[in-house]
Amino acid sequence: MIDQKNVDRVIKRHRDFWKRPPTDRPLLGFPFQWEHGLGTKLGLKKGPLTPDMLDPELFVTFYEDGIKEGGLFEGDLLRVANCQRLPWAESRPDGSIRHRSARAASIPWSPAIMGCEVEVSSDSLWTKPLPPGQAPTDLTTLGENPWLAKAIEITGVLNRKFGKTYPTCPPDVLGPADMLAAILGTEQMCLDMIDNPAKIKSLVGLCTDVWLGVHEKFKPLEIEFRGGHCESRFQLWAPGVTTVTQDDCAIFFSPKRYDEFLTPVNRRTFASSPYSIMHAHTGAAHTFEAILSIPELGAMQVHLDPNGPSVAEMIPTLVKIQRMGKPLIIFKEFKLTELETLLDGLRPEGLCIMAISASEKAALEFMQRLIEEKK
Amino acid sequence: MKVLEQISASVINGDAAGTVQLTRQALDAGLSADEILNEGLIAGLSEVGRRMESKTFFIPEVLVAARAMKAAEDVLKPVLVSNCVKPTGRVVLATVEGDVHDIGKNLVKLMLECAGFEVTDLGVNVPAASIIRAVSETRPNIIGLSALLTTTVVRMKEVIEDLKRNDLRSQVKIIVGGAAVTRDYAEQIGADAYSPDCTDAAKRAKELVQTN
Ligand code: B12
């Protein structure tokens, strides 16, 4: 059973995250760490994954189990049902079956839609660049794309099943830079930036068209939750449709090339929905200024990389994002002292902290210690 | 500008055809392959590394410079082999099993080669057993392991344990890196060195062979 009063309280906090009125504390979430030996658990053979191998019912049972066991909340964040992570069935000692999933089992939907072959390896799912001569999917062929059809089918099943009691959303569509790297291969993309910039410009435009086209195709499902919409990446609710642009491959673009190739398309992705989130890494901090210069940007999400600058070193950059009036989401496997540095250095308004934990138990212990330290 | 400086500049500019042409010109003028390699090509690539560190160059510039260097190396190789220059040391390099990220590893390879190491690159998604086999066969001074995923860093520990089981651990130094690896983790699994980037990796590798 979902406690409706609690839902109202959480939704209010999420609404405030976007509006940023004075608040006592930031949003706090504790997503769990990845699973090992994933390929075996998924029951899939190493090799290609095709859309016909994905059964919507598997996703439904996974979320049914999840609601029974964990309810709707992960800290202040919402569990959102979608077809992003591939679940697997696990037998328990009492003979019953439990469905589980993990971050590394993330299905690379948009590279697959673009035409890339998806591979299952021992620890994750990944895609191969398009073979030479194969044209990427464009808007003229998007309508009959089997991967997109499958994503819409599963999302529709989840939405009909859980309806208004449990939020649903489409899967991740990445962002133009990451889609480009997926179809060309990262190294080729880098070489083309210098050898053939016109090709990069045209392909990044095509990726953006497909990105927008894919979001458009989910609209007829009329997904809605409590008068607003959710996204699954950062598990946030917003009063309107929220899109996430993933910009992992920004690391390969110099500030000049970022401005030339990606700023124009970021403007298009941000402007396409009332609430947008940019997912960026500290490894690509040299691109933050360009991203923040786009007025249509909704919120910035910064992933603090394990080998990047320390939390203390990042505070001035993060403060700058807050000063520009953008809601900020921070993602990292924190030590307690680092979390304190963050809480001391930043304003709680429009702030969401996602502290990765090894397990549900570790997350609870961490939260408990944080509360005690703060007393 | 002297031809060696021109070769360096051409590597820095990522001009493969120009670098090949200048390398041929230098050989024809009687310069030794060693000189061309060290004072022309490697000097150029070292500057590329410095510019990457100071963030004036980004990965695309490094990749085109590497491409130019490779093209010229093909011209030099027959001459170098016949002169048989002794390497600084031998390294077996791999991205661990389950992980296909190789851009970082390839840059490390480049910088190690630049520092005079002979590198056997086992590629990506390499099982521990293949690494053990390569160690037995090539007897390297160093093993370099790369991992970018939180799920695959644990494979580094497995490699170290397999080396111990096969009585090979004391014969090689291990250096680890990649975005998912931290200095703490490297210490915890008993690696000999950790490096956050490719230029530092080459320095650490030199230290490792010196202490050996
Ligand atoms: C490019 C990329 C890919 C490409 C890889 C292409 C290729 N040929 O390498 C592709 C598309 C295939 C890919 C796939 C996946 N990726 Co990926 N990828 C990246 C990305 C964007 C850049 C990595 C990179 O090349 N960086 C640039 C190089 C130069 O840096 P580097 O590797 O760190 O190397 C430097 C140092 O670390 C060091 N170093 C590296 N190796 C070594 C070795 C030694 C011995 C030493 C001393 C030093 C050293 O020196 C290098 C140079 O200075 C990162 C995000 C990011 N911005 O970092 C995600 C990232 C690493 N990927 C990630 C994920 C999740 C995946 C996938 C699981 C995708 C999915 N399904 O969601 C798959 C996994 C595939 C697999 N089984 O491995 C995550 C990992 C998260 C985690 N903590 O585990 C990241 C961080 C992105 C994210 N959103 O969080 N990816």
Could you read off the pLDDT of A159-178 as tens digits, one per residue?
Answer: 999 877 789 999 999 999 99
Structure tokens at A157: 């099943």
Judged by a CB distance cut-off of 8 A, whether residue A289 touches chain B is no
Instruction: Decide if pLDDT at A329 tops 70.
Output: yes
Check residue A108 and give left, alpha or beta (phi > 0: left; psi -120 to 50: alpha): beta
The mean per-residue pLDDT over the stretch A131-146 comes to: 96
**Which residues share a beta bridge with B211?**
none
Produce one character per residue of A140-150: b if its CB has 16 or more CB atoms within 10 Å, e if not.
eebeebebbeb
Query: B106 and B158: one domain?
Result: yes
pLDDT at position A38: 46
Among A82-86, A93-97, A103-107, B135-139, the least confident range: A93-97
Of residues A236 and A369, more confidence is placed in A236
The mean per-residue pLDDT over the stretch B107-114 comes to: 89
With the most atoms of ligand 1 within 8 angstroms of its CB, the residue from B54, B93, B95, B101 to mutate is B101
Query: B150 and B166: one domain?
Result: yes
Whose CA is closest to A76, among A326, A275, A352?
A352
Closest ligand 1 atom, CA of B193? 47
Instruction: Decide if pLDDT at A81 tops 50.
Output: yes
Q: Cα-flanking dihedrals φ and ψ of residue B82, to 5°?
A: -70, -25
pLDDT at position A100: 64
DSSP letter for each residue of A320-363: HHHHTT--EEEEE---HHHHHHHHHHS-STTEEEEE-BSSHHHH
Query: B151 and B174: one domain?
Result: yes
DSSP letter for each residue of A138-187: -HHHHTT-HHHHHHHHHHHHHHHHHTTTS-B-------HHHHHHHHH-HH
pLDDT at position A122: 66
pLDDT at position A86: 82
Instruction: Decide if pLDDT at A33 tops 70.
Output: no
Query: B68 and B96: one domain?
Result: no
pLDDT at position A123: 64
Query: Cβ contacts of residue B126 below 8 Å, gap of 6+?
Result: B94, B95, B96, B97
Separation of alpha carbons B5 and A360, rounded Å: 59
Check residue A304 and give left, alpha or beta (phi > 0: left; psi -120 to 50: alpha): beta
Q: Cα of B148 to ligand 1 centre, how many Å? A: 5
The residue type found at A74 is E
How many whole angstroms from its chain centre is CA A56?
Answer: 20
The mean per-residue pLDDT over the stretch B92-105 comes to: 93
Instruction: Decide if pLDDT at A2 tops 80.
Output: no
Separation of alpha carbons B196 and B178, rounded Å: 7
For each of the domains in chain A, give its residue range(s) and CATH number, in order of start. 4-373 (3.20.20.210)
| pLDDT 10s digits, B156-169 | 999 999 999 999 99
Report CB contact under 8 Å: A307, B99.
no
CA-proximal residue: ligand 1, atom 6 (nearest): B101
Separation of alpha carbons A203 and A197, rounded Å: 10
Of residues A208 and B150, more confidence is placed in A208
Query: B68 and B122: one domain?
Result: no
Report CB contact under 8 Å: B100, A121.
yes
Strands ordered across the beta sheet of A118-120 = A47-49, A118-120, A125-127
CA-proximal residue: ligand 1, atom 39 (nearest): B178
Q: Cα of B101 to ligand 1 centre, how many Å? A: 5
Report CB contact under 8 Å: B150, A305.
no
The mean per-residue pLDDT over the stretch A337-350 comes to: 91
Q: Is the shortest distance between the CB of B49 and ligand 1 below 6 Å?
A: no
The mean per-residue pLDDT over the stretch B140-161 comes to: 94
DSSP state of A137: P
Structure tokens at B20: 């090949």
pLDDT at position A35: 47
| Cβ neighbours, 10 Å, residue B12 | 21
> How many helices (H) and strands (E) would you count in chain B?
10, 5
The mean per-residue pLDDT over the stretch B68-95 comes to: 85
The mean per-residue pLDDT over the stretch B138-150 comes to: 95
Produce one character per residue of A340-355: b if its CB has 16 or more CB atoms within 10 Å, e if not.
ebbbeebebbbbbbbb
Among A57-61, A129-133, A202-206, B134-138, the least confident range: A57-61
Measured CB to CB, residues of chain B less than 8 Å from chain A are: 14, 55, 58-61, 63-64, 67, 97-100, 103, 106, 125, 149-152, 154, 179-182, 196
- From B61, B82, B103, the end of a domain falls on B82
| pLDDT 10s digits, A212-269 | 999 999 999 999 999 999 999 999 999 999 999 999 999 999 999 999 999 999 999 9
Q: Is the shortest distance between the CB of B182 and ligand 1 below 6 Å?
A: no
Q: Which of B52, B63, B99 is the best mutation test for A, with the most CBs of A within 10 A?
A: B63
| Confidence band, pLDDT 50/70/90 cuts, at residue B80 | confident
Q: Is the shortest distance between the CB of B108 and ligand 1 below 6 Å?
A: yes
- From B21, B47, B82, the end of a domain falls on B82
Instruction: Decide if pLDDT at A199 tops 70.
Output: yes
Instruction: Decide if pLDDT at A148 tops 90.
Output: yes
pLDDT at position A101: 66
- From B28, B63, B82, the end of a domain falls on B82
Structure tokens at B25: 């010109």
Q: Is the shortest distance between the CB of A124 and ligand 1 below 6 Å?
A: yes
Separation of alpha carbons A235 and A249, rounded Å: 23
Judged by a CB distance cut-off of 8 A, whether residue A251 touches chain B is yes
Mean pLDDT, chain B, integer: 92
Query: B100 and B160: one domain?
Result: yes
Query: B58 and B98: one domain?
Result: no
Report CB contact under 8 Å: B63, A191.
yes
- Strand-pair category, A73-74 with B117-121: unpaired
| Shortest Cα distance, chain B CAs vs residue A214, angstroms | 27
Among A118-127, A341-350, B22-31, the least confident range: A118-127
The mean per-residue pLDDT over the stretch B7-22 comes to: 97
Closest ligand 1 atom, CA of A251? 57
Sign of the dihedral through C-alpha B163, B193, B180, A362:
positive
Cα→Cα distances A370→A208, A282, A340, A345, Å: 42, 25, 8, 16
Query: B157 and B193: one domain?
Result: yes
| Cβ neighbours, 10 Å, residue A45 | 10
Query: B144 and B68: one domain?
Result: no
pLDDT at position A306: 82
pLDDT at position A42: 57
Q: Contact A182/A203 with Cβ under 8 angstroms?
A: no
Separation of alpha carbons A51 and B16, rounded Å: 42
With the most atoms of ligand 1 within 8 angstroms of its CB, the residue from A86, A251, A304 to mutate is A251
Vertex A354, ends A373 and A24: CA angle to 5°? 55
Query: Cβ contacts of residue A59 below 8 Å, gap of 6+?
Result: A81, A83, A87, A154, A157, A158
Element (H, E) at A230: strand A229-231
Percentage of chain A beyond pLDDT 90 is 65
Q: Tell me the CA end-to-end span of chain B in Å, nearest whole number.
A: 41
Check residue A132 and give left, alpha or beta (phi > 0: left; psi -120 to 50: alpha): beta
Element (H, E) at A231: strand A229-231
- Which ipTM score applies to this complex? 0.88
Separation of alpha carbons A297 and A299, rounded Å: 6
Report CB contact under 8 Å: A191, B55.
no
Query: B66 and B103: one domain?
Result: no
Instruction: Decide if pLDDT at A34 tops 50.
Output: no
B159: domain CATH number is 3.40.50.280
Q: Which of A36, A126, A190 sits opposite B100 (nearest CB)?
A: A126
Q: Which of A35, A194, A306 sits opposite B60 (nearest CB)?
A: A194
Query: B94 and B175: one domain?
Result: yes
Helix (H, G, I), strand (E, B) or coil at A276: strand
Query: B43 and B25: one domain?
Result: yes
pLDDT at position B78: 81
Of residues A5 and A14, more confidence is placed in A14
- Strand-pair category, A236-238 with A229-231: antiparallel
> B152: domain range?
89-211
Element (H, E) at A113: helix A109-114
Number of domains in chain B: 2
Mean pLDDT, chain A, integer: 88
Q: Cα of A304 to ligand 1 centre, how many Å? A: 14
B72: domain CATH number is 1.10.1240.10
Element (H, E) at A237: strand A236-238
Q: Which residues of A touch B63 (CB under 8 A)?
A: 187, 190-191
